[in-house]
């Protein structure tokens, strides 16, 4: 091996320099490991230093199928182009998905429940049809969101929402997130998660009693709304007690 090649490819095994003048018959199999290594060394020494591929340029030109376009998107048909305000709103919504950190309690509350529920505002003005403003109504617990949450984040967000629920009313947005977070909890439960879901079930039972006492069959719509909330509260209590094995919190079957 030449000195320059020796620097680039240092020897890993102790093999003597080969003698290219000795007879070498590639058809005869090596009998010992030393013969095999010497055979490899001889074959490598007989290879040319530079190998040039024989390429036919005519064949190469015929097989060029790469199309490069520097044009922009097709313009939206007339009347279907979104307004600038709508586009800015969607960018703001998308950006909000990427913002909350695991320890950002207030950020997660606004993210899950929306500014409307978080600030206890009944309605927010909206002069232009911009579609659903998730910053106001809260982001739904989409699979694309909750599937990327670690167990530490799931537990933290569950703690934030349970704490919020301890002083606020039950809402459909809250119910959807509580259900999704419970679905993400891994068993066996961590001690902090165990305490959290028990606290959540007890709070659901308290709110359920209040909802039942307020259900007066005067307005059918109000009665149906309370029944929906009671059903949602029953579901959370059932999951905590039956699925997560907190049997002492389970409802007795009627």
What predicted TM-score, i.e. pTM, was given to this entire model? 0.55
Model confidence band, residue 132 (pLDDT cutoffs 50, 70, 90): low
Q: Quick one: average pLDDT of 112-121?
A: 68
Residues 6+ apart with CB under 8 A from 161: 108, 109, 112, 113, 174, 177, 178, 181
Instruction: With CA atoms as reference, report the closest residue to 149 among 92, 111, 117.
Output: 111
Q: Note the pLDDT of residue 158.
A: 94
Instruction: With CA atoms as reference, report the closest residue to 236 among 199, 193, 188.
Output: 199
Look at 10 and 103; give whichever has higher pLDDT: 103
How many CB atoms are located within 10 Å of the residue 18 CB? 19
Q: Note the pLDDT of residue 127.
A: 44
Q: Quick one: average pLDDT of 193-213?
A: 89
Q: What angle do CA 234, 235, 238 make, to 5 degrees?
A: 85
pLDDT over threshold 70, residue 7: no
Range of weakest confidence among 12-26, 34-48, 163-177: 12-26
Q: How far apart are CA 182 and CA 146, in angstroms?
A: 11
Q: Quick one: average pLDDT of 71-79?
A: 76
Look at 227 and 5; give whichever has higher pLDDT: 227
Q: Note the pLDDT of residue 124.
A: 47
Tokens 């030393």: give the residue: 34
Q: Note the pLDDT of residue 62.
A: 64
Look at 36 and 133; give whichever has higher pLDDT: 36
Model confidence band, residue 197 (pLDDT cutoffs 50, 70, 90): very high
């Amino acid at each position: 091996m030449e000195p320059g090649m020796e620097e680039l490819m240092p020897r890993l095994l102790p093999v003597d320099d080969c003698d290219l003048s000795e007879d070498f018959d590639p058809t005869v199999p090596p009998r010992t490991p030393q013969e095999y290594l010497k055979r490899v060394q001889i074959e490598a020494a007989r290879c040319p230093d530079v190998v040039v591929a024989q390429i036919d340029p005519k064949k190469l030109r015929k097989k060029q199928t790469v199309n490069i376009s520097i044009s922009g998107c097709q313009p939206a048909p007339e009347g279907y182009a979104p307004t600038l305000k709508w586009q800015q709103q969607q960018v703001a919504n998308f950006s909000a998905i990427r913002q909350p950190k695991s320890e950002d309690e207030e950020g997660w509350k606004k993210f899950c429940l929306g500014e409307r529920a978080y600030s206890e505002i009944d309605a927010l003005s909206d002069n232009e049809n911009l579609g659903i403003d998730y910053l106001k109504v809260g982001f739904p617990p989409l699979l694309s969101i909750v599937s990327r949450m670690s167990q530490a984040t799931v537990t933290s967000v569950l703690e934030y929402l349970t704490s919020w629920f301890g002083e606020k009313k039950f809402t459909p947005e809250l119910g959807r997130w509580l259900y999704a977070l419970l679905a993400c909890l891994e068993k066996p439960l961590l001690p902090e998660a165990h305490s959290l879901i028990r606290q959540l079930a007890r709070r659901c039972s308290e709110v359920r009693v209040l909802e039942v006492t307020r259900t007066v069959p005067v307005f059918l719509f109000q009665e149906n709304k309370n029944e929906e909330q009671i059903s949602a509260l029953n579901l959370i209590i059932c999951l905590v007690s039956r699925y997560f094995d907190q049997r002492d919190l389970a409802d007795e079957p009627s």
